[in-house]
Structure 1
Amino acid sequence: MSNRRGRVAVVCAVVMTSILGWALSACSGLPVGGPVREGRSVDERVTRAARIDPMPPPVGASPEQIVQGFLSAGAAFQEPGDDGELVAKSYLAPDSAERWDPTSVVTVYRDLAIGSPSATSIRAISTPVATVDRSGHYRELAPDARTEAEFGLVQIEGEWRLELPASGFGIWLNTIDFDRIYRPYRISYPVIGTNRLLPDVRWFPFGPRLITTLARAQVAPVPDYLEGVVESGFPEGTKLVVEAVVVDDEGVATVPLTASASRADVRQRKAMWAQLGSTLLAVPEVTSVTVEAQGTGLLSVPDLPETLGSLANTGYALEPSAPPRDGLLRTGSQLQRIDLARLGDMSVPEPTLAVTAGLPRIPLGYSGLAAGPDGTDVAARSPDRSTILRWRGQTSMPVSGLGTGLTRPAYDADGRLWIGGVQHGLGRIWVASAHEGSKAELIQVDWLQNRVPVAVSVSRDVTRLVIASRATDGDDPRVDVAGIVRDTAGRPQRITMPKLVDAPFVGVVDAVWMDDLTVAVLGRIVTDVEPRVYVAELGRGIGLRQRPDDASSSMIPIVPASRAVVPTTGPRGLVVLTGQGMFVRVGNGWRAFGDATELAVLAQRPLTD
C-alpha cells in the first residue's frame, strides 16, 4: 500500500435482487413457512442488552476486513468508543462519516459474503430477512431476496477506508445482533369517539436513547393507515423541546413539550398523558411519567396526579377485544350453535332440535358461511360468487347493490356485513347495515380500484380491515391493513391508505383477524407449493427472522386443497376449510372434524368502549 493520501473512483449502491451471479459463502437455506410459537409480548419489560464492543480497524487491514469490520461495528451505533466517537466511523473516509445514518434503514440479514475487491470498489452481499425503516416499522422480505452493497475504496495514509454514497447508508445487523439491540414497542392512539387506545407496533434500539426515541415517536403525527380512525392528543406542531427525556433516580420520566402543547383542552391533555404513559411505562427504567409544556411547566389535568404510574385515572385503556365464544357449525345444509372451546377436544354433540332451532338451512353449493354477533343473522355466497344470501332467522334475501367475484362475507361486531368484489371492472368494498334491510352501500377505497379483492375481514375492535387482493392480471398479491373512517353517527364512509402486512406473500387465498394485532393468512411465501396458514403478528411478521432449524418444528403443516381459514378462540385457535371438510388445529397438526363442512364465528364487542 502506498503511504500517500490517494483517492480512487467511488462506486457505491445498495440494491435488492432476487438472483445474483455469484455465490454466497456460508449461506444456509431459508424457511418456507412461518413459525407459530408465541414470542415476547409487545409490552413485556426486558433487561438491558449486553454491551457491544467493536474493534477499530487493525493496521494493514485488507479491503475485505474493512468492509466486514464496518458492518460489524455498526451494531454499536449507540455506544461511542473511549474517544467519544463511534467505532464504525473509523472504517470510513472522513467525508463519508457524516453520510452514515444508522437508523435510516436497518437491514436484518442471516448470511453475509464479501466479494473480491477491484481497484476501485468492493461488494458485500447478504440474505436479508427483514428491514426496519426510520419510523420503526418492521417488514419481512421474500426468502429469495438479496441485498447488495458496493462500497468505494479509498486509501487514507496507506490504510484502506470506505466511501459511502451521497444518499447515505444505514446498518446491516445479523439476526443475533438485531435481537440483542432492537425491541418492539407500542405507540398508541385514542380511537376516535371511544376511550380505547389502538397500538401501532414499532421496533427501536434498546439503549440509552430509547425513552427519548419512544417519546418522539409518540408525539409525531398519526400513521397514514390510521388517519381518520384514531386521533392524537398532541396539538399540531407539538414536539419535544430538547433531544432528551430525563429520567430521575425514582424512575420518573419528564417529557418536555413545546409551548403548543399548552393549547390543548382537558380531553386532549388526558389523551397526551395516556399516550405517553402507555408507551413509556413499558420501559423498565420508567416507573411514572410527567408532562411539561415550554413556558407553562406541568401540563396539569384535573383528577390526574403530577406523575402518572398507570392509565387508571386517564379514562383511557389499552385492552384487547374479547375473544369469541360461540360459533355456527355447518354439516351439509344444517347449522347448529356450538361452544368454540369444545372444538379442540372434538366434543361437539350431534345436532339436536335445541341447538338448531331458529337457524336457517343453507342451500348446498352456497359457501363462505358468516354469522352476526347474536347468531341470528347469517350470510353465505353463491357458487358463482355473484350473490350473497342473507338470512334473518329462517327468512332469506339477497344482498343487493353488489358486483361479481364476491369475497366470503364477513360480519363485524356491530352486525354490519362486509363484502369485497368487482364492479364495472373496479375493485370494490361494500357494507350492508345490521338494521336497514339488505342493500349494500359502496365504501370509498381509492387504492383498491385497480385490484381484485380476494378476502375481507374486520378487526374485532371494528377499527380496521385486513384486505387480501391481487392485480387484475393475477400477479402482485398483497395483504394490507387499512383503517375504517366513520361519520359522526359511526357509519363507515371510507377506507384509509393501506399498510402492507409485514410478510412477503407471493400468493394469498384468505386472510382473517385472529385478535387485535394478529392476522391468519392462507397463502404462500414461495411459489410452486400449496398454500398453508401463516400467523402474522402486525409489526412482527411471520417469524422469518428465526433460523430454519428453529422454525421447522413449529411451522403449521399444510392441509391440501385449503380454501379458507377461520379463527376460533385463543392464540392458537384455527380451523381450515377444504372441499372435503373441516380441519381443526390440534397441537401442531390438524384433525378432521367429523362431517362438518364450515364454521362461522360470532363476533364479540371490544372489552372497553
Structure 2
Amino acid sequence: MSRPRALVVVTGLLAGALVGCAGLPGASPVQHGLEIDQPVMPPLRVRFEPPRAGATPVEIVRGFLAAGVALEDDAAAPRAFLAGTALTQWNPRAGVVIYGSTAPTMTVVNPRTVRLEAEVSALIDEHGRYVEQPAGSRRVALIGLAALPDGEWRIEALPDDFGLWLSASYAEQTFAPFRLHYLSASSRTLVPDVRWLPLVGAGVATTLARAQLEDVPAYLVGAVGTGFPRQSGLAVDSVAIESGEAVVDLTPRLLDAGSQEQRGAWAQLLATLDQAPGVNRVAVLVDGKPLELADTRSPVQSIADLGYAGPGAPRGQRLVTRAGNKLAVTDRGALRGFSEPAPAKQPGSTVVLPLIPAAWTHLAAPPGLTEIAGIDATRSVVRRWSIAAPAASSSASPGTPAERGPHAAAVFDREGRDFAPPAYDRFGVLWLAGTDTAGLPAVWVAGVGSTSLTRVALPGLNGSAVAALRVSGDGQRVALILRARSGRTRLALAGVTRDARGMPTRVGVPLPVGGALVDVRDVTWMDDITVAVLGRRSVDPAVRALVVPLARPTWAMAAVSNPTRIVSTGEGVRGLLVITQSGAVLAPSGGRWQEVGRLTGVVVPGS
C-alpha cells in the first residue's frame, strides 16, 4: 500500500516519535503524558509531500489524517488532500478527536464515500478545552470524495465539526495544555483555566497571548473577570521575545480600562506567558508605547508587583483528627500510629475543641479553625460548634459535648434534608447541599457566626441533585458530584458568583469533567487544576482513589479496600489521605498506600 511520504525536520526527543509517520499516526495507549506546568518541548514539525498520483480514496483519507500533525503554513500539508467545498470550509481548529488504542478504521461505503470510525478517548473542542470521554466511546464520520478532471481523488466533503483526528501521542506533540488566567471577582487572585493550544503556527507566546485576550469562559462568567475590554487584540501579528522578555503590543482598547483592570490585564499576561519557552518577563505596550501604571515597580518581575497572588497556597499541614467523640489539632507529619484512645492534644495547640457525639459525622472546619460542622445520621440536621480559645474554655463541662458557652451550637434543621457532607471555603463560608422541603436540589451557605442559611442560585442541573461539593483554593470554583434521578453520579465544575460581602449568590452552569467516571462518591481538590475522587471507571471492579486532572485523562492510584473518605492538604498526590470503613488512615508512599493511623476521621480546615 502506498503512503504519503513525510520529512521530519525536528531533532531530539520528538524525532523518534515519527517512525511510521508516513502512514496514519500510530495508535497509542492513554498514559499520564504531558503534565501542565512542565517545560514545553519543541513542537513536532513535519513536511508532507503532496498525494501520490493514482492514490485510492482510502489512501487519500489516510494521508489527510496523517498530515494533520503538520499545521504550519495554514495547514498546507493536509489541505493538499482537499478540493472544492472541503478546501474552503475545513477548519483545523474546529476540534481534535483523540483516538485510543486502535487506529481508526476506514470502510468504502461507495466509490465516493469513506466511512471513518474510531474509539475515542478524548476530544479537544474549538476553544482548546479537553473533554475526557467514557470508555468505549466511538466517533463516526462520513468523508465525501470527488475525482478531479485529471482523475485524481480528493476529499470534497467533511462534516461541519471535523477538525483533526490524532492518536494520544501525536496530540501531545502537536498541542499542549496551558493555564490561562482570570481575575477573581472576590480577591486579588488569579484563577486558572486550562486549555490545549497548538505548539506550531504563530509561536507559543503569541498563541497564549491571543487566547488570553478572549472572553471569560462561559462556566466562569460571574466568578471571574478579565482586565481586557471586549474586542482587545494584538496591535502587531506576534509577540516578540527579546532577552527573555515577551513584548506584547496591544490595541488602544486597553486604555479604555481603569488602572486596576490594566494591572489585572498585565498580571494575566505575565502569569500566562511565563509558560512560553524563553519567557521570564512580560512588557506590555499599547499601540507601540509602554503601558504606564502608577505605584508599580519597574521592571515588573512578578504578579505580586502588580498586587496579585496566585490561585492560593496549599491548605497547609494542620489537621483535625477525630477518635470517637474527641478531636485534636495535629499536623500531617505527626500523623503516625494514632489509634483509640484519642490522640493527645499537640504541643502548641491554641484552641480548645468541642466533644462531638458519634452520631455527628462528616465533620468540616474553616481555615481559621473557628468552628466545626457536621451532619447527623439521618442527614436531615446540620450542627455547627464554635471553637473556643483556651482562656474561654473553663465554662465547658468536661466529658460532655458543649451545647452552651464556648462551644454553643447552631442547628440547621428546617431548610432541607438529604444533606451532603458540609464544606468550607477560603473565606470561612459554610456550604451545604441537599434537597429543600419541596424535594428540589438546593445549595445553601452561612457566613462566619451566622445562625441562618442563605440559598444559592443553582441553574443548569436538569433535575440532578448535588451529592457533594468542594470549593477550590481560590474560592471561585466548586467541584460538584451530581446525582441524576437514575442514581448515576458524575463530576462537574462550576464558577461561584459572590456579592460585595464575599457571600456566594450563584453556582454557575456545571461543566462536566472526568468523563471516564461512572460512579463518584467523594471529591477533594489536590491543587488548583486537579481533583481526586473516590469513584470508579468502567474498568474498575470497585471504588478506588482516582486522580482527575481538569485537562488530562483520569488515572488510578493503588486499590484500597472499602474507602469512605478522601481529603487533601492541597499539595498534590503527596497531600492525599484516604480513610477506610475500618478507620485506617492511608497516605501515598511509593506507588502504594501506607497506613499512618487509625482514626474515626480527619478534617482538613478550609475544605
Q: What TM-score does the superposition give when structure 2 sets the normalisation length?
A: 0.84
Which secondary structure state, in structure 2, belongs to the residue aligned with residue 465 of structure 1? strand
Deviation for aligned residue 1:284: 1.4
Structure 1 residues 238 and 188, CA, compared in 2 at 3 Å: closer, same or farther? same
**1:332 maps to amino acid:** G
Deviation for aligned residue 1:301: 2.1
Contact kept? 2:141, 2:159, Cα under 8 Å: no
CA distance in structure 2 between the partners assigned to 1:286 and 1:233 by the alignment: 21
Structure 1 residues 106 and 408, CA, compared in 2 at 3 Å: closer, same or farther? same
Structure 1 residues 72 and 331, CA, compared in 2 at 3 Å: closer, same or farther? same
- Equivalent of 1:486 in 479, 498, 501: 498
1:120 paired with 2:115, answer no
Contact kept? 2:320, 2:328, Cα under 8 Å: yes
Contact kept? 1:457, 1:467, Cα under 8 Å: yes
Which secondary structure state, in structure 1, belongs to the residue aligned with residue 91 of structure 2? coil
Deviation for aligned residue 1:283: 0.9
**1:299 maps to amino acid:** L
Deviation for aligned residue 1:102: 0.9
| Partner residue, 1:560 | 561
CA distance in structure 1 between the partners assigned to 2:423 and 2:560 by the alignment: 23
CA distance in structure 2 between the partners assigned to 1:563 and 1:119 by the alignment: 57
Which secondary structure state, in structure 2, belongs to the residue aligned with residue 351 of structure 1? coil
Instruction: Map 1:455-604 to 2 at 5 A.
Output: 455-475=468-488, 477-526=489-538, 529-543=541-555, 555-568=556-569, 570-572=571-573, 573-587=575-589, 588-603=591-606
| Partner residue, 1:8 | none
Instruction: Map 1:63-142 to 2 at 5 A.
Output: 63-79=57-73, 86-110=76-100, 111-117=102-108, 118-142=110-134
Deviation for aligned residue 1:320: 3.7
User: How many residues of Structure 1 are paired with residues of Structure 2 in the alignment?
Assistant: 554
| Partner residue, 2:251 | 258
Between stretches 420-429 and 161-170, larger displacement belongs to 161-170
1:430 paired with 2:451, answer no
CA distance in structure 2 between the partners assigned to 1:206 and 1:449 by the alignment: 38
Instruction: Map 1:139-288 to 2 at 5 A.
Output: 139-156=131-148, 157-165=150-158, 167=160, 169-209=162-202, 210-242=204-236, 244-247=237-240, 249-288=242-281
- Equivalent of 1:351 in 333, 342, 345: 342
CA distance in structure 2 between the partners assigned to 1:216 and 1:370 by the alignment: 41
Structure 1 residues 416 and 454, CA, compared in 2 at 3 Å: closer, same or farther? same
CA distance in structure 2 between the partners assigned to 1:321 and 1:76 by the alignment: 40
CA distance in structure 2 between the partners assigned to 1:89 and 1:289 by the alignment: 36
Which secondary structure state, in structure 1, belongs to the residue aligned with residue 72 of structure 2? coil
- Equivalent of 1:325 in 317, 321, 324: 317
Q: Deviations over 1:582-607 (max 9, x none)?
A: 33123222344554121111239xxx
Q: Deviations over 1:377-431 (max 9, x none)?
A: 1122212211112222433442244311110111223322111101112111111
Between stretches 156-165 and 482-491, larger displacement belongs to 156-165
Higher relative contact order (CA 8 A, sep 6+): 1
| Partner residue, 1:300 | 292
CA distance in structure 1 between the partners assigned to 2:141 and 2:510 by the alignment: 30
Contact kept? 1:503, 1:536, Cα under 8 Å: no
Structure 1 residues 245 and 340, CA, compared in 2 at 3 Å: closer, same or farther? same
Contact kept? 1:99, 1:166, Cα under 8 Å: no
CA distance in structure 2 between the partners assigned to 1:525 and 1:562 by the alignment: 15
- Equivalent of 1:311 in 281, 300, 303: 303
Which secondary structure state, in structure 2, belongs to the residue aligned with residue 98 of structure 1? helix
Instruction: Map 1:328-339 to 2 at 5 A.
Output: 328-339=320-331
Contact kept? 1:517, 1:538, Cα under 8 Å: yes
CA distance in structure 2 between the partners assigned to 1:248 and 1:376 by the alignment: 49
| Partner residue, 1:389 | 383
CA distance in structure 1 between the partners assigned to 2:225 and 2:368 by the alignment: 31
Contact kept? 2:48, 2:70, Cα under 8 Å: yes
- Which ranges in structure 1 are unaligned for 5 or more consecutive residues? 1-25, 544-554, 605-609
Which secondary structure state, in structure 1, belongs to the residue aligned with residue 231 of structure 2? coil
Q: What TM-score does the superposition give when structure 1 sets the normalisation length?
A: 0.84
1:371 paired with 2:389, answer no
Contact kept? 2:247, 2:282, Cα under 8 Å: yes
Structure 1 residues 558 and 101, CA, compared in 2 at 3 Å: closer, same or farther? same
Identical pairs, percent: 32
CA distance in structure 2 between the partners assigned to 1:480 and 1:61 by the alignment: 46
Deviation for aligned residue 1:168: 5.1
CA distance in structure 2 between the partners assigned to 1:436 and 1:482 by the alignment: 25
**2:123 maps to amino acid:** T
Deviation for aligned residue 1:188: 0.9
Q: Deviations over 1:70-118 (max 9, x none)?
A: 10101102256xxxx7111121223311222111111112321333313
| Partner residue, 2:21 | none
Deviation for aligned residue 1:122: 1.1
Contact kept? 1:323, 1:515, Cα under 8 Å: no
- Which ranges in structure 2 are unaligned for 5 or more consecutive residues? 1-25, 388-401, 404-408
